[in-house]
């Protein structure tokens, strides 16, 4: 897989911090505290997006990285709510750069696959930015496996390459194992997945009667994780964590990071207190036996074949 490095040549940390909550559920004080927590444990890879919290996420992250710009990798994504035309991607880049007050964006993603805009047009914008030295790496997010392979070929035709894919991946959402991860391995693309905690499900908090959070308040997350066996897995994970004197969230993040096809899971939180168990995964040593025990809690997705009876 592609090894990302900072401008000063340091390798990307094995965890990435996602700043979706900056300027939303995390105010400036809480956001800076989490940024500093990440830097203390060695995280140098930070993820944001044009659409996060109306631009506040980018603005805050840009403010925090100013004193150590070359020591960190800053990733953002083109506007999700606009067609991925060349003009829109370039405009999105300029707005993101202006919000963050930085000259170069290390990693720029297409936030989603746009079926109405030719991929050649979308990627030509990123290829141009890379050629001009304004971005260092090209990424794609929320692409299916066939879209990943198509993007890789289009990028090669443009004289560049796709460096990173950002998909959803966690213990109860393992569909990426079927074709997305193999496609990335084949194409030499690093995988930086989001949602290792399954929207909070894998922290175990939704097993309580007084639980509150996205899985209850957000219809999209409710539909995504309202599956009985997923909740059974989430209920069992804290029991395993207790046996190892750690937290369910730590195990959930460490489980994703243990996959050799994963470069860096994206962790996130709204406070330092909430972030701490995920941060602990950076130093957690997971044995093969523990990895297998945790994996057995979830359903392995069927392989990609039209002859499942022979698989």
- The total of other beta-carbon atoms located within 10 Å of residue 164's CB is 24
- The number of residues in the chain equals 311
Q: How far is CA 26 from the centre of its chain?
A: 19
For residues 5 and 11, the answer to whether their CB atoms sit within 8 Å is yes
Q: What is d(CA 21, CA 245) in angstroms, rounded to the nearest whole number?
A: 28
Q: What is d(CA 263, CA 256) in angstroms, rounded to the nearest whole number?
A: 10
Question: Which among 52, 80, 206, 225 is annotated as catalytic?
Answer: 52
Instruction: For tokens 């999209």, name the residue.
Output: 220
User: Catalytic residue at 52?
Assistant: yes
Query: Cβ neighbours of residue 287 under 8 Å, at least 6 residues apart?
Result: none
- The total of other beta-carbon atoms located within 10 Å of residue 177's CB is 15
DSSP 221-232: HHHHH--HHHHH
Q: What is d(CA 90, CA 295) in angstroms, rounded to the nearest whole number?
A: 42
Catalytically annotated residues: 52
């Amino acid at each position: 897989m592609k090894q990302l490095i900072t401008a000063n040549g340091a390798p990307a940390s094995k965890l990435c911090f996602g700043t979706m909550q900056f300027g939303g559920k995390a105010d400036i004080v809480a956001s800076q505290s989490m940024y500093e927590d990440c830097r203390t444990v060695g995280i140098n890879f930070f993820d944001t997006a044009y659409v996060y919290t109306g631009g506040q996420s980018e603005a805050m992250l840009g403010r925090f990285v100013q004193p150590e710009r070359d020591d960190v990798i800053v990733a953002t994504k083109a506007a999700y709510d606009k067609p991925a035309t060349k003009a829109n991607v370039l405009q999105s880049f300029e707005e993101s750069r202006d919000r963050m007050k930085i000259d170069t964006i290390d990693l720029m993603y297409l936030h989603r696959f746009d079926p109405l805009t030719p991929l050649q047009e979308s990627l030509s914008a990123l290829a141009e930015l890379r050629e001009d030295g304004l971005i260092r790496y090209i990424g794609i997010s929320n692409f299916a496996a066939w879209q990943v392979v198509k993007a890789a070929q289009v990028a090669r035709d443009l004289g560049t390459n796709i460096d990173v894919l950002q998909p959803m991946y966690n213990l109860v959402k393992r569909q990426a194992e079927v074709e997305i991860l193999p496609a990335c391995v084949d194409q030499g693309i690093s995988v930086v997945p989001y949602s290792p905690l399954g929207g909070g499900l894998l922290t175990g908090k939704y097993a309580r009667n007084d639980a509150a959070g996205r899985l209850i308040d957000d219809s999209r997350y409710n539909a995504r994780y309202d599956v009985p066996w997923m909740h059974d897995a989430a209920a069992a994970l804290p029991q395993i964590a207790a046996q190892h004197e750690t937290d369910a969230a730590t195990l959930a993040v460490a489980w994703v990071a243990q996959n050799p096809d994963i470069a860096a899971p994206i962790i996130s939180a709204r406070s330092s207190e909430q972030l701490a168990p995920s941060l602990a995964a950076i130093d957690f040593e997971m044995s093969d036996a523990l990895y297998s025990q945790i994996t057995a809690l979830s359903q392995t997705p069927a392989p990609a074949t039209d002859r499942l009876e022979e698989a």
